[in-house]
Amino acid sequence: MINAFHEACKEDLVPDKALLEPYNIASNYALETFDTDKVVGQMFNDELSRIREHVKKAHDEFRQSVGTHTPTSTPSKKSKKAKSYRAKADQDDKMLAAAQKYAESLEGIILTRDLDSVMASYAYATSPQSHFAFTVAFQQICTIKAKSCKGGLAPSTREFDEARKISVSFLRVLNRGTDDNYYGSY
């Protein structure tokens, strides 16, 4: 039943425009540059081709990993074997190969601004319904999305983030909003 739900959701998913934007901007800029200066425009297009090829290789690795990936159970936090489990899990993590392939350095890219965002955006564009982009470029995908939101990105240190508290009155309102009896029946 869960698989049927996921399949139904995939059909209705609309790709996130904010996550596609960095790659689309770079592609449009390359085309505009090519119209005004063929040499620089061709260099820019060559860079984008190298970026696409790099991401596609990582995506191919990801697809192979997905076909062979079998999740294992996680030990409890109190387990004394947690450290050894993490080391073994990293060795057994088949998704790690795709992330490492994606993270390999891409030398000689000089015209493309914000290479990490363009790569992450293209990773998302290759398959918006899969978890590929989130597996290999999670932080960059989150940054792109945060920058696109009203108010933009608001960096915070861990100390400030952990010091935030939710007020008791907010929790009360939140609990009322989720309580079915609060609104009564119509």
148-154 long-range contacts, CB within 8 A, separation 24+: 148/18, 148/21
Assigned domain for 172 exists: no
* Higher-scoring residue by pLDDT: 16, 90: 16
pLDDT bin (cut points 50, 70, 90) of residue 44 is very high
Question: For helices 115-126 and 138-148, what crossing angle results, to 10°?
Answer: 100
Predicted local distance difference test score (pLDDT) of residue 24: 95
Number of folded domains in the chain? 1
With a cut of 70, say whether residue 183 has pLDDT above it: no
Q: What is the pTM of this model?
A: 0.68
Write b or e for each residue in 79-88: b if 16 or more Cβ atoms lie within 10 A of its Cβ, otherwise e.
eeeeeebeee
Q: Print the domain residue range for 56.
A: 2-72+84-156
Predicted local distance difference test score (pLDDT) of residue 39: 92
pLDDT bin (cut points 50, 70, 90) of residue 79 is low
Assigned domain for 180 exists: no
Assigned domain for 100 exists: yes
Number of H helices and E strands in the chain, helices first, is 11, 0
